[in-house]
Structure 1
Amino acid sequence: MTGQSAPNGRTGRDRGDLIGQGGLWLAKWSLILVSVSAGAWVVGWLIAALWVVVLPVLLAIIVATVLWPPTRSIMRVGLPPAASAATALVVFSLIVVGVVTLIVPSVVDSTPELVDKASDGVSQVQNWLKGPPVNLQDEQIDTAVSTILERLQDSGAAIASGVFSGVSTAGSILITLTLMLVLTFFLLKDGPKFVPWLHGMTGSRVGRHFAEVLGRMWVTLGGFIRTQAVVSFIDAFFIGLGLVLLGVPLALALATITFIGGFIPIVGAFVAGALAVLVALVANGLTTALIVLAIVVVVQQLEGDVLQPVMQSRSMNLHPAIVLLAVTGGASVFGIVGAFLAVPAAAVAAVLIRYLSEQIDLHSSEPGQAGPDQAGPDQAGPDQAGPDQDAANS
């Protein structure tokens, strides 16, 4: 018998049976977690081993999400897909080459002076911390300051080597960029053929789910990249304008770093703002440094409280803690490229998790958490379309 009479007259199951059932449940889920972790480790190992191939693919996907709207517009004019993709890609390449030609040489030339001024700024902060009212001892801050100075002095080489970490094992940066451009062209040209091929390979039922998830990922990724580009440009423009009006040297280099740092949320903004304040402190004094700090804080608050909520749906945002962990993990594994790719990867993963949660809610007897705006695979709205779905609708 599994039931017995308790002293209070109630009938319940034996404690040993309940403990055994709980142990079996815990063992089952522990095995599942171990299996999932092992699978994730294998996937991570494969990505690291094939990073030279994976990196151009990821960069091509990001560029394709940015270029798909103009490519689609060119197709609607009447050009064939190949000509439309080539036109968008050539214009994009010319813009990038022009910007790099105009800005990068001056930024590179300013890097040694920027590092020296930032180091001097850190030294001034160190001297203030030693005096009243803080009165910190030398041993309390020397280690931290020396670490900061070493990182500043090595930042140029770290950036140059970290952006294309691992590429040298297979060739050169030029080969990687060329492969990225070729892959982007094929993604733009042949993207509409992917969903029909996927339906043929997986069947209509599974294919519907794949198409819905990939469509949402495409929309999320493209919206994130385009929004970050606009927001980063606005941040760099206003902070750079403030630096110019205040007469802070290296304003162009600092504005460029601010723009690039905008693609690495939280961490990038903090580093760029700190550099601007340190340079202003050394070159123009404490008053100017405080004004620069106020400008950086106001611009970043405007970004976080006004620009992003207006330009980007809140459903595409991630909690700051998730962003910080993603950036830290990506940077520790794949360097600067990992920090740049971490947030898009986390946003795409969040799309998958939300979709799985919706499907669980649809088949669960418990009340679901999905809102009325969250549709299943048969209820996708017109704004949930990627390049394949856009072409099919047109």
Structure 2
Amino acid sequence: MTVKVVAFLFEKKSIRILVTLILIFTLIYLVSITRFIFEPVGAYLTAIAVPIIGAGIIFYITNPIVNWLEKKKVPRFAGTLIVFLLILLIITIIINFVAPVVQRQFSNFVESVPKMVDNAEKLFEMWQENQNIIPPQFENTIQNVMDNFSQYAERITASIIGVIGQIFSFVFAFFLIPFFLFFMLKDGYKFVPFVSNFLSPSKAKSFKKLTANINHTLASFIQGQFIVSLCVGIMLYIGYLIIGLDYSLSLALFGLVMNFIPFLGPFLSAIPAIIVGFFQDPILAVWATVVMVVAQQIESNLISPNVMGRALSIHPLTVITLILAAGGIAGFLGLLFVIPAYAVVKTIIAHFYHEWEKKQPEEDPDLF
């Protein structure tokens, strides 16, 4: 009798979902209390994460070139070598022409920070002298901010330098990326057929469909975001040059990188440009804002819809929530990778849910 009751309950879809969730949380709990077993595995994965992720990003950017060359009867090995030569050429151009300018502009910016602080204090004192009536609470708040403005500026500068330090540390870990990238471009297409050989025909078909969906999701995001961010960086650089803004190349590159962060990126990239423009000439702060707004309008209304479309299908509120959570947990790298990671997890869950749903018999309405 008990067995029949249990079988009857498991015929209900809601009960099966509840049991599945209980098992998942039980598994998570067991992993958490035995995490010391997985620490060596975690250390190994952390060590290889940077080259694999870096190679994966470059792979999705350059793989269309290799595929195009292959269609033109160029062997895949030769196409991979051609891509490496193109990458080497781009790196050479950056090192010889872009990096020295950015380094010089950043050094000048760091040296000008104390002067900006002094100008801000003088500006506030001038404004305060010309005000007859200022609410005490408002005056105390502003005075407190100005008293600690130097500390705030030093913290912001230290944060920027810290981010740049992380980037350089990240770059030093890139020495393995060419090896991973070479084999990804040359033999990456063999991975799915190789794994499928160990699966039954039905599971192999499901696995191929899953990997194709994941590949489409990652390619859509990485390739689309790369093209969109590159276009935004070029537009910002041209706009900053037109208005005569100092550190135009550095600020444009900063805007290019920040544009990889959905929604919050454009606002973050606007802050340094507006501050630099204000201290150079207050009217330039307005023009820098105009340049940023125009660039973002062109990007959101013309470039993104044609390049990315609605490939990820993620609600804006979900994106904002993920970005805020990832920023607090993993910092800058979390902001960059949380959206594609979420999109991949969403693709995997949707795939297995559809596979599971296809195997279920028709539900009896009387059971609910």
TM bin (shorter chain): 0.7 to 0.9
| Structure 2 Cα separation of the partners of residues 283 and 109 of structure 1 | 17
> 2:157 & 2:262 partners in 1: Cα distance?
23
Q: Which residue identity is paired with 1:320? A: P
The partner residue of 2:203 within 180, 193, 206 is: 206
1:118, 1:152 within 8 Å by CA — same for their partners in 2?
no
Q: Establish whether residue 181 from structure 1 lines up as the match of residue 178 from structure 2.
A: yes
The Cα of 1:63 is off from its aligned counterpart by 1.0
1:363-386 alpha-carbon deviations (Å, 9 max, x no partner): 4557xxxxxxxxxxxxxxxxxxxx
Instruction: Tell me the residue number matched to 1:302.
Output: 298
- Tell me, yes or no, if the aligned pair for 1:199 and 1:207 is still in contact at 8 Å: yes
The CA RMSD measured in Å over matched residues stands at: 3.7
- 1:148 Cα offset (Å): 4.3
Distance 1:144 1:225 in 2: 41
Distance in 1, Cα, partners of 2:74 & 2:303: 35
Q: 1:35 aligns with which of 21, 27, 40?
A: 27
Deviates more, 1:240-249 or 1:355-364: 355-364
Amino acid at match of 1:76: K
Cα distance in 2 for partners of 1:223, 1:122 equals 47
Q: Which runs of 5+ in 1 are unaligned?
A: 1-21, 168-172, 367-394
Contact 2:323 2:335 in 1 (8 A): yes
CA distance in 2, matches of 1:34, 1:319: 30
Task: Check if 1:245 corresponds to 2:248.
Answer: no
Match of 2:90 among 91, 95, 100: 95
Map of 1:318 onto structure 2: 314
Q: Is residue 137 of structure 1 aligned with residue 126 of structure 2?
A: no
Deviations 1:188-210 (A, max 9, x none): 11112111211112333222222
Following the alignment from structure 2 to structure 1, what is the Cα–Cα distance between the partners of residues 176 and 285? Answer: 44
Whether the aligned pair in 2 keeps the contact of 1:258 and 1:273 (CA below 8 Å) is yes
- Residue 101 of structure 2 is matched in structure 1 by 106
Counterpart for residue 150 of structure 1: 154
Q: Does 2:58 align with 1:63? A: yes
**Shift in alpha-carbon separation, 1:182–1:294, aligned structure 2, 3 A:** same
**1:357 shift after superposition:** 4.0
Partner of 2:45: 50
Unpaired segments of 5 or more residues in structure 2? 1-13, 364-368
Q: Secondary structure at the match of 1:318?
A: coil
Residue identity in the other structure for 1:191: G
Deviation at 1:330, TM superposition (A): 4.4
Instruction: Select the residue among 55, 66, 75 that pairs with 2:70.
Output: 75
- Aligned CA distance change for structure 1 residues 48 and 299 (closer, same or farther; 3 Å): farther
Letter in 2 for 1:88: V
Indicate the SS of the match to 2:262: coil
Q: 1:370 aligns to what?
A: none
SS of the equivalent of 1:263 reads coil
1:163 is aligned to 2:167:
yes
Count of aligned positions: 338
- 1:196 paired with 2:199, answer no
Percent of counterpart pairs with the same letter? 21
Give the counterpart of 1:277 among 274, 279, 291. 274
Deviation string 1:208-258 (CA, Å, 9 cap, x unpaired) is: 222212112222212212221221122222222222222211111111111
Partner of 1:339: 335
Letter of the aligned partner of 2:164 in structure 1? A
Quote the residue 2:11 is aligned against: none
Task: State the match for 2:254 in structure 1.
Answer: 257
